């Protein structure tokens, strides 16, 4: 990235956002972190508050923001089903109004802007693994639609601003990411399993546990987002960022039990509605355009995440 820039990170006190803020500061930039603390926490950025180049502001992206910035990372939106289904109307507003407000800011400032989109734009995919050219198989009326369709609409807005106003945009489609600072109650499989294992509780698997996910460690994800932001202007994306190695949910549970030394047992429960059976990115575009692929092995990332939750639970 160029010499010191003023960079806005929306949702910057969230899981991925806080790691991104940290890395931007490490690279010598000024960081304005905004968050409404719906799922993000001050705790996630507590270690950054003493840094004179870091500013934390409570703000909701569904309202306009007037600040001077050179780059915008738009990460604001609850990303786990537990949180985005709690207030689905607000979830859609965050994706759609949030995109409009941040794109408006980028247009005024002629700032480059990156949208944190999601693998959920592919819905329950009929193509495997999913390339960026796949349009998806999404239920527009389901319980997850507020998130899936909100993110799809945000992508539409980004490309329309790009075509209509010649705005420099980047769209990243983020696949399952895990690591320290995940929200402990977000209902995601990695945090759920680790907490259940550390407490010695039964580990709940939905369905037969043969459904797959691909897990990308947060440091690799931040590296991908930064490479995309600094890629040539014609590399708008969308670009899949995620780990192309598939793991079944059952395998994940067994790894976590082994790594924590837990005595937890596995228990099966019925699958939730619209839960995708397989989820795996085709990352050939990221490899080619960004020279990026995940480096952190699953066991290493899980160990770091387990240590984080161990410390959190004993605090």
Tokens of 143: 């319980």
Contacts of 126 (CB under 8 A, 6+ apart): 137
Tokens of 193: 């399993």
Q: Give the separation between CA 4 and CA 2, rounded to whole angstroms.
A: 6
What is the phi-psi region of residue 40: left when phi exceeds 0, alpha when psi lies from -120 to 50, beta otherwise?
A: beta
Length of the chain: 315
Q: Give the separation between CA 114 and CA 198, rounded to whole angstroms.
A: 36
Q: Give the pairing of strands 239-241 and 54-58.
A: unpaired
Say if residues 73 and 20 touch (Cβ distance below 8 Å): yes
Q: Give the separation between CA 93 and CA 40, rounded to whole angstroms.
A: 17
Pick from 207, 183, 206: nearest CA to 195? 183
Say if residues 266 and 205 touch (Cβ distance below 8 Å): yes
User: Has 178 been annotated as catalytic?
Assistant: no
- Point out the catalytic residue in the list 38, 122, 147, 217: 147
Active site residues: 147
């Amino acid at each position: 990235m160029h010499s010191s820039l003023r960079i806005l990170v929306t949702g910057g006190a969230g899981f991925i956002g806080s790691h991104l803020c940290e890395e931007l500061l490490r690279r010598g930039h000024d960081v304005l972190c905004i968050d409404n603390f719906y799922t993000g926490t001050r705790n996630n950025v507590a270690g950054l508050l003493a840094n004179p180049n870091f500013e934390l502001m409570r703000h909701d992206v569904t309202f306009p923001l007037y600040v001077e910035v050179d780059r915008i990372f738009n990460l604001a939106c609850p990303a786990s089903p537990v949180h985005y289904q709690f207030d689905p109307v607000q979830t859609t507003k965050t994706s759609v109004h949030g995109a409009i407000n941040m794109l408006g800011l980028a247009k005024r400032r002629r700032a480059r802007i990156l949208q944190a989109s999601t693998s959920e734009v592919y819905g329950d995919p009929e193509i495997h693994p999913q390339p960026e050219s796949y349009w998806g198989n999404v239920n527009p009326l389901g319980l997850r639609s507020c998130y899936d369709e909100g993110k799809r609409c945000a992508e539409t807005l980004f490309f329309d601003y790009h075509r209509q106003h010649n705005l420099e945009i980047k769209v990243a489609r983020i696949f399952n990411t895990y690591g320290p600072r995940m929200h402990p109650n977000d209902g995601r499989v990695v945090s759920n399993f680790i907490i259940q294992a550390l407490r010695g509780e039964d580990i709940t698997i939905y369905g037969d546990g043969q459904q797959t996910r691909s897990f990308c460690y947060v440091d690799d994800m931040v590296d991908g987002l930064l490479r995309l932001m600094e890629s040539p202007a014609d590399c708008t994306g969308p670009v899949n960022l995620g780990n192309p190695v598939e793991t079944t949910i059952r395998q994940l549970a067994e790894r976590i039990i082994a790594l924590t030394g837990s005595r937890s047992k596995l228990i099966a429960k019925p699958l939730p509605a619209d839960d995708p059976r397989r989820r795996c990115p085709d990352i050939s575009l990221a490899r080619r355009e960004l020279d990026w692929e995940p480096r952190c092995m699953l066991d290493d990332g899980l160990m770091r995440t387990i240590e984080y939750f161990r410390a959190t639970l004993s605090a």
